[in-house]
Amino acid sequence: MTKEEAKRILEAVLFAAGHPVTFEKLGEVLGISAEEAEALAADYAKEYESCGLPRGIQLLILGKACQLVTKEVFAPYIKEALGIKDGGNLSKASLETLAVVAYNQPVTRAYIEQVRGVDSSYSVGVLTERELIEEKGRLDVPGRPRLYGTTENFLRVFGLSSLSELPPLKIADGDAI
């Protein structure tokens, strides 16, 4: 199979899947290694964006997987066409909680509350319900509190390939930490 045929198969599989597909699975389908599938997807994504034609979709690399997604600018049209009701934006409290988790994971709810200075159980519940954070395990101390971390959905929603793409945190005087 040529590289161009492999790209067309990659595109068809991702389009039909409608969800992230791991490079391992793509490698199995294409008869190549996961690393080769990842390189093929990265090459396809670059090629797709640089072809000079405006597109409504893009290939998003999500850590060890990739997905064909619509561009954010077209979300209102898609919602209208498909009759999707907006779930509403996250509150400031939920965004603060999400930031604490994203930059410090895995974290306990007690840690989140210590950083924020207020009860965060509602925000943790909202973020869990929206699949932006999930339980990653339990801390090995008395009471075995849950440890929370971000999900693959978090990366997709915020257009990140990995947590290393998070912007640096800023402290009050503007210096990065």
Nearest to 155 by CA among 116, 98, 112: 98
How many domains does the chain divide into? 2
Residue 83 belongs to a domain = no
Tokens describing residue 45: 């994504």
Structural domain includes residue 177: no
**In angstroms, rounded to a whole number, what is the distance separating the alpha carbons of residues 93 and 101?**
12
Residues 142 and 108 in one domain: yes
Q: What count of other Cβ atoms lies within 10 Å of the Cβ of residue 81? A: 9
pLDDT tens-digit readout, 38-74: 999 999 988 888 877 778 888 888 889 999 888 888 8
In terms of residue numbers, what domain contains 157?
92-165
What is the distance between the alpha carbons of residues 71 and 57, in angstroms, rounded to a whole number? Answer: 5
CATH number of domain containing 106: 1.10.10.10
| 51 lies in the same domain as 102 | no
Distance CA 159, CA 116 (A): 25
Domain annotation covers residue 107: yes
In a domain, 117, yes or no: yes
- Classify 65 as helix, strand or coil: strand
Across the chain, which has 177 residues, the per-10-residue mean pLDDT values are 92 91 95 95 88 82 88 83 73 92 93 91 92 92 92 85 85 51
